[in-house]
């Protein structure tokens, strides 16, 4: 059947695009600026070149309306804080002295001033900088960045739409500033913030903006009546402005629920909604509220978060249904394409058959354009694209890569007993204390040590054939010995080998497991200049041979102190990969868990007494709606226990989590049944320690006392103060001392100084406890 063309020609658009450039030019320029090798003017020039290249690429692909304002040197939420004048008092002098240096100081901190807290952007692996607000916050408009970037795009002859974080989401993402009462609600500042947004909108209108997009993804979460009333008031007031562009309010990542009625009835000019699988309820809900008569609907039917090709027929059916629900329907990705790599065509090492299943940002842009063309002109206009799409979908569905009968049989045979340790925690703890003989307040690190330029060169030389495997491995052994020697000299109690052989905490394992496909150029921004290459989880997972035993046992042979075995947990292996979407996530997690269980058991058999299975993604993968939490946490915690429950009672199982809000998953942390958990806590001032205590968490914990995402070196006194604060919530016999996260991104100079101060702080506090008890 041939679909009829839309009454009004559908337009193609996106909400944002990868910032880094084809060869991560932005990362190199920003880090060069930090090191004094790149001038501010050169950095700005590189950024402008990248913006122009992105816009031209989008326009050449057929995008009718390009986004502006989505580009950022570090983080778009930090950009919003600058736009509304919400600069913390401790950073104001730096910002006034030099806006660019002050901006980076807010993001990274300085030796004397702490940065803003950083946490996950909803349930993605992107991190944003948390606004700090209080009852005395004074807002002020600074639209210079937004106006300048709009003018750049208009000067190229393009139709451009500025994209801003909406005022309600901005306040809902904020936290009380240090020194402000913990129960302060930033949303009470809405009436103070709206005039600032009004001024920014007027500036953009004067600069030539016809439409402005205001992103309100916080409204897809469970919201209180007060939150919804705030959203209604915000868009009533902004919609009533006389001097404004047309307003497009966007949501993504999930269904809007009750907020849809609020936005549909607001005096705005259009809505941009997510219609991908996890937000499919938006379709029926939109019909139930009577659609958007007289308004524009931007339909996010191309998934902006995964890398699998779109099902054109399914998307066109959704778009056809939407035609009767709005004055005009345009086509978009479901969210910013910031969350996917740039171009699948660059992945020449991937099997061509598999590459046909993949859509990165450039391919998703083409999908949006194709769907808009089909909606506007009928399916006959895209018959060749439809035929190719059907063939690619069929190829994936029938591929032997996606199904391994042996893996499926083993997964089906899992029993409840496989996910339980042989003894309860109190008995295990006694056995571990006797076996390990650790002091009060034991010190450790999270796993990785600095990845030096020499290591990166050695890895590149190996790939290029300039050195052989033997030469490369000798370099790795040298690095392991150096890392161990430093830890022993410093006085760390439980050591790590530093992971010099690993390129990434997920990719390293993915390259050794069946069912995964690695990319060479699939970089995605995690935060600031930290980019990762998520592997593609395309098929059933198994472990052909041990992955970490060799290097861990080598490290243990160099020292009499315990060396941790270091693994990445099943939930994080999924969350930090582009995971298959053709079976339930829980099924895939159990496959990964069984592979890791084999590795854990092999590490123990080789003499490893402490094994850490990191799950930093447990919280970030939590569904945005509370109704969906239980089902997710059930398979997530089960998969962790399945990975770790095959060991003896005297083998100590650690886990680690960082940069997330932990309070609403404390029960799940408990359900993991890990013997020790280390958590990010430095930037949040030990908040998680209190949350664990309030829950009655019964096992050992190490809330971090060193913020490793900042280059500043914490003093012994600072670390000791955080440690004492931790002791207010966690008994000394159950408290560990550690950094917030791994040290891969830090330099050796700051690492040495910071770790020495951390150990000194532990000794100081330990001595005080011993004296008190004596």
Please name the residue that has the structure tokens 């100084």.
753
Contact 523, 340 (CB under 8 A): no
Residue 537's closest CA among 491, 587, 475, 602?
A: 587
DSSP 3-state percent helix, strand, coil across the chain (nearest 5):
50, 15, 35
Q: With residue 213 as reference, give the H or E element that holds it.
A: strand 211-215
Residue 636's closest CA among 622, 657, 655?
A: 622
What HEC string does 566-600 produce?
A: EEECHHHHHHCCEECCCCCHHHHHHHHHHHHHHHH
Residue 660's closest CA among 132, 130, 178?
A: 130
Name the maximum alpha-carbon separation found in the chain.
86
Measured between alpha carbons, how far is residue 242 from residues 161, 248, 425, 610, 740 in Å? 19, 16, 65, 65, 49
Spell 164-175 as b/e; 16+ CB within 10 A means b: bbbbbbbbbbbb
Measured between alpha carbons, how far is 124 from 621 in angstroms, rounded to an integer?
7
Measured between alpha carbons, how far is 555 from 396 in angstroms, rounded to an integer?
42
Please count the other Cβ atoms lying within 10 Å of the Cβ belonging to residue 309: 21
Measured between alpha carbons, how far is 532 from 27 in angstroms, rounded to an integer?
12
Measured between alpha carbons, how far is 619 from 636 in angstroms, rounded to an integer?
10
Ordered DSSP codes for 94-112: HHHH-HHHHHHHHHH--SS
Give 365's contacts (C-beta < 8 A, 6+ positions apart).
14, 57, 58, 61, 62, 63, 333, 337
Active-site residue, 629 included: no
Where does residue 281 rank: exposed (0-12), middle (13-18), buried (19+ CB within 10 A)? middle
Measured between alpha carbons, how far is residue 152 from residues 163, 626, 730 in Å? 14, 42, 54
Instruction: Select which of 76, 497, 654, 709 is catalytic.
Output: 709
What amino acid positions are annotated as catalytic residues? 709
């Amino acid at each position: 059947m041939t679909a009829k063309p839309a009454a009004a020609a559908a337009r193609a658009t996106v909400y944002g695009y990868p910032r880094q450039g084809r060869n991560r030019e932005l990362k190199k320029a920003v880090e060069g600026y930090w090191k004094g090798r790149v001038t501010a003017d050169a950095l700005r020039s590189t950024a402008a070149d990248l913006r122009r290249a992105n816009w031209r690429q989008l326009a050449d692909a057929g995008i009718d309306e390009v986004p502006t304002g989505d580009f950022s040197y570090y983080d778009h939420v930090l950009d919003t804080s600058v736009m509304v004048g919400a600069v913390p008092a401790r950073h104001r002098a730096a910002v006034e002295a030099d806006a660019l240096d002050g901006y980076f100081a807010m993001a990274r901190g300085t030796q004397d001033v702490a940065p803003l807290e950083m946490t996950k952007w909803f349930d993605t692996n992107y991190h944003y900088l948390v606004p700090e607000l209080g009852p005395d916050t004074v807002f002020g408009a600074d639209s210079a960045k937004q106006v300048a970037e709009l003018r750049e795009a208009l000067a190229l002859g393009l139709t451009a739409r500025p994209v801003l974080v909406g005022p309600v989401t901005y306040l809902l993402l904020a936290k009380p500033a240090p020194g402000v009462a913990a129960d302060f609600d930033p949303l009470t500042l809405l009436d103070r913030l709206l005039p600032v947004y009004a001024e920014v909108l007027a500036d953009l209108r004067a600069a030539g903006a016809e439409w402005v997009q205001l992103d309100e993804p916080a409204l897809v979460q469970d919201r209180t009546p007060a939150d919804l009333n705030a959203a209604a008031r915000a868009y009533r007031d902004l919609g009533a402005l006389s001097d404004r562009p047309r307003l497009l309010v966007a949501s993504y990542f999930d269904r809007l629920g009750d907020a849809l009625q609020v936005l549909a009835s607001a005096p705005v000019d259009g809505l941009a909604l997510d219609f991908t699988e996890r937000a499919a309820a938006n379709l029926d809900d939109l019909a139930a509220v009577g659609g958007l008569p007289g308004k524009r609907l931007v339909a996010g039917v191309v998934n902006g978060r995964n890398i699998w090709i779109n099902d054109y027929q399914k998307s066109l059916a959704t778009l056809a249904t939407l035609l009767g629900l709005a004055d005009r329907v345009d086509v978009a990705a479901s969210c910013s394409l910031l969350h996917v790599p740039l171009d699948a065509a660059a992945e020449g090492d991937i099997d061509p058959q598999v590459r046909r299943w993949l859509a990165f940002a450039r391919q998703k842009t083409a999908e949006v354009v194709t769907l808009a063309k089909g909606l506007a002109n009928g399916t006959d206009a895209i018959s060749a694209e439809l035929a190719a799409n059907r063939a690619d979908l069929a190829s994936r569905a029938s591929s032997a890569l996606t199904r391994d009968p042996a893996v499926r049989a083993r997964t089906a045979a899992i029993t409840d007993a496989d996910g339980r340790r042989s003894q309860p925690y109190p008995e295990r703890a006694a056995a571990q204390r006797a076996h390990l003989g650790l002091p009060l307040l034991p010190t450790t690190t999270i796993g990785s040590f600095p990845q030096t330029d020499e290591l990166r060169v050695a890895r590149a030389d190996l790939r290029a054939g300039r050195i052989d495997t033997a030469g490369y491995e000798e370099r790795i052994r040298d690095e392991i010995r150096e890392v161990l020697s430093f830890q022993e000299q410093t006085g760390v109690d439980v050591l790590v080998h530093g992971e010099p052989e690993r390129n990434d905490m997920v990719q390293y394992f993915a390259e050794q497991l069946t069912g995964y496909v690695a990319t060479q150029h699939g970089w995605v921004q995690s935060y600031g200049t930290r980019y990762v290459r998520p592997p593609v989880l395309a098929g059933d997972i198994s472990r052909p041979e041990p992955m970490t035993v060799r290097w861990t046992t080598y490290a243990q042979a160099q020292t009499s102190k315990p060396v941790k075995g270091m693994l990445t947990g099943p939930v994080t292996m999924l969350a930090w990969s582009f995971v298959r979407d053709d079976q339930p996530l829980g099924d895939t997690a159990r496959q990964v868990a069984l592979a890791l269980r084999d590795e854990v058991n092999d590490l123990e058999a080789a003499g490893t007494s402490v094994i850490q299975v990191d799950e930093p993604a447990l919280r970030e993968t939590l569904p945005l709606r509370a109704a969906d939490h239980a089902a997710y946490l059930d398979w997530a915690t089960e998969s962790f226990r399945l990975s770790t429950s095959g060991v003896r009672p005297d083998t100590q199982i650690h886990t680690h989590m960082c940069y997330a809000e932990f309070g609403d998953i404390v029960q799940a942390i408990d359900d993991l049944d890990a013997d020790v958990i280390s958590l990010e806590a430095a930037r949040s001032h030990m908040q998680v320690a209190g949350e664990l205590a309030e829950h009655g968490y019964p096992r050992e914990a190490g809330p971090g006392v060193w913020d490793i995402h900042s280059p500043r070196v914490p003093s012994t006194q600072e670390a000791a103060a955080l440690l004492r604060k931790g002791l207010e919530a966690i008994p000394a016999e159950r408290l560990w001392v550690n950094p917030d996260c791994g040290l891969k991104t830090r330099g050796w100079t700051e690492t040495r100084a910071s770790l020495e101060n951390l150990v000194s702080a532990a000794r100081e506090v330990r001595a005080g406890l011993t004296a008190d008890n004596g």
